[in-house]
C-alpha cells in the first residue's frame, strides 16, 4: 500500500448548486476505503464528481496522478470502473456479455480474443463462471451484483468505485461481495472506494472509513480507532463499541 490512486482535494461539487463542500479524500493502491454517512450526506454525489458526472465548482481530483477534470470519458473509463447503486438490468442479456462490456473502453467494433479471455478469466476468478450463460435479468440480486463487480474488474482500471454494493443483499451475499472486493484489492493492488451504510461491514472490511455529513467529510478513521461519539454526532443514535475476535463491533 503506498501511492495515492485517488486524490480529491478541497472539492466543492454538485449539480446546479454545490452539494459537497471542501471535501478531501484519498485512496491508495491496495486499499479498500468505505464512505459512510446518513442519507443525503453527499456520498453518491462525491462518486459522481470523481467520474466526471457532476459539476465541479472548486478543488481538484487526481486519478493515478493525472488531473481527472482534463480527461475524457474513455480515458477515465480505462482507469476507473464503477458499479452504481441498485443497478438492475431488466432486459435479457447473458451474464458473460455483461462482464465483456467491461472491455468497452478498449474495444473497436468487436471484442478481441484478449477481451474475451479476460472476461472468462474474471468470471472464473470470482467463481461465477457457472452463471456465464444465464440471463442477467433472471439472476438473484446477489448473483447479479457479483456479475457487475466482475464487469468492473474486467475493465482493468486502477480504481474501483462502488455505490452501496451490499444493499438489498442477504448476509451471506453481503459477506461474499465484501470478501471478493477485499481479495481483489489485495491480489491486484487496486484502490476501492465504496459507499456503505452497514458500519459493521465497513469495520470488518475497510482499511479506512470516511464519514460524510451535510456535504462535508466530518471524520476519517481506521477501524481500530473508532469512537462511538462519531456515530452519535452524525447519526444521533447511542451506540456501544465492543471487541469481537480482535475487531470493533458497533451495537445500537
Ligand atoms: N441529480 C441531482 N440534482 C440535484 N440534486 C441532487 C441530485 N442527486 C442528488 N441530489 C441531492 O444531493 C444531495 C446528496 O445526495 P446523494 O445522493 O449524494 O446522498 P447520499 O449520501 O449518497 O445518500 P443515500 O445514502 O441516501 O444514497 C441530496 O440533497 C440530494 O437531493
The answer to whether 61 and 68 are in contact (CB under 8 A) is yes
Q: Ligand 1 centroid vs 19 CA: distance in angstroms?
A: 8
Ligand 1 closest atom vs CA 195: 22
Q: Which atom of ligand 1 is nearest to the CA of 20?
A: 14
Regarding the beta carbon of 18 and ligand 1, being less than 6 Å apart is answered: no
C-alpha of residue 69 to centroid of ligand 1, in Å = 21
Confidence (pLDDT) at 239? 87
Q: Is the CB of 44 under 6 A from ligand 1?
A: yes
Q: Taking the chain, what is the end-to-end CA distance rounded to the nearest angstrom?
A: 33
Round to whole Å and give the CA distance between 172 and 31.
23
Determine phi and psi for 143, rounding to 5 degrees: -65, -45
Q: Is the C-beta atom of 43 inside 6 A of ligand 1?
A: yes
Q: Whose CA is nearest to atom 6 of ligand 1?
A: 15
**168 has pLDDT over 80:** no
pLDDT tens readout for residues 183-208: 999 999 999 999 999 999 999 999 99
CA nearest ligand 1 atom 4, residue: 15
Whether residue 230 has pLDDT greater than 90: no
CATH architecture type of domain 4-86+158-251: 3-Layer(aba) Sandwich (3.40)
Confidence of residue 238 (pLDDT cuts 50, 70, 90): confident
Query: Which grid coordinates belong to 226?
Result: 473508532
Q: How far does residue 126's CA lie from ligand 1's centre (Å)?
A: 32
| 3-state percent helix, strand, coil for the chain, nearest multiple of 5 | 40, 30, 30
Q: Please tell me the predicted confidence (pLDDT) of residue 214.
A: 95
pLDDT of residue 25: 98
Rounded to whole angstroms, the Cα distance separating 20 from 56 reads 10
Q: How confident is the model at residue 1 (pLDDT cuts 50, 70, 90)?
A: low
SS3 203: helix
Mean pLDDT of 145-168: 92
State the pLDDT at residue 231. Answer: 85
Q: How far apart are CA 88 and CA 137, in angstroms?
A: 8
* Binding site membership of 130 for ligand 1 (Cβ less than 6 Å): no
Q: Give residue 108's pLDDT band: very low, low, confident or very high (50, 70, 90).
A: confident
Does residue 88 surpass a pLDDT of 60? yes
Q: Is the CB of 194 under 6 A from ligand 1?
A: no
Pick from 97, 122, 246, 132: nearest CA to 187: 122
Residue 42 Cβ contacting ligand 1 at under 6 Å: yes
Amino acid at each position: 500500500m503506498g501511492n495515492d490512486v485517488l486524490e480529491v482535494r478541497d472539492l466543492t461539487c454538485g449539480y446546479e448548486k454545490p452539494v459537497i463542500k471542501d471535501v478531501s479524500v484519498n485512496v491508495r493502491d491496495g486499499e479498500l476505503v468505505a464512505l459512510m454517512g446518513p442519507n443525503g450526506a453527499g456520498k453518491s454525489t462525491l462518486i459522481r464528481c470523481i467520474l466526471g458526472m457532476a459539476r465541479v465548482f472548486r478543488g481538484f481530483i487526481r486519478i493515478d496522478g493525472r488531473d481527472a477534470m482534463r480527461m475524457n470519458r474513455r480515458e477515465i473509463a480505462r482507469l476507473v470502473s464503477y458499479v452504481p447503486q441498485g443497478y438492475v438490468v431488466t432486459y435479457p442479456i447473458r451474464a458473460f456479455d455483461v462482464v465483456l462490456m467491461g472491455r468497452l473502453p478498449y474495444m473497436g467494433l468487436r471484442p478481441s480474443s484478449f477481451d474475451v479471455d479476460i472476461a472468462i478469466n474474471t468470471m472464473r476468478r470470482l467463481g461465477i463462471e457457472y452463471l456465464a450463460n444465464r440471463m442477467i435479468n433472471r439472476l438473484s440480486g446477489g448473483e447479479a451484483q457479483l456479475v457487475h463487480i466482475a464487469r468492473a474488474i474486467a475493465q482493468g482500471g486502477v480504481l474501483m468505485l462502488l455505490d452501496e454494493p451490499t444493499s438489498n443483499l442477504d448476509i451471506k451475499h453481503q459477506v461474499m461481495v465484501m470478501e471478493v472486493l477485499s481479495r481483489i484489492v489485495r491480489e491486484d493492488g487496486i484502490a476501492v472506494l465504496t459507499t456503505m451504510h452497514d458500519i459493521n461491514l465497513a469495520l470488518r472490511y475497510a482499511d479506512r472509513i470516511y464519514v460524510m455529513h451535510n456535504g462535508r467529510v466530518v471524520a476519517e478513521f481506521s477501524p481500530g480507532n473508532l469512537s462511538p461519539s462519531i456515530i452519535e454526532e452524525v447519526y444521533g443514535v447511542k451506540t456501544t463499541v465492543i471487541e469481537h475476535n480482535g475487531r470493533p463491533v458497533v451495537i445500537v
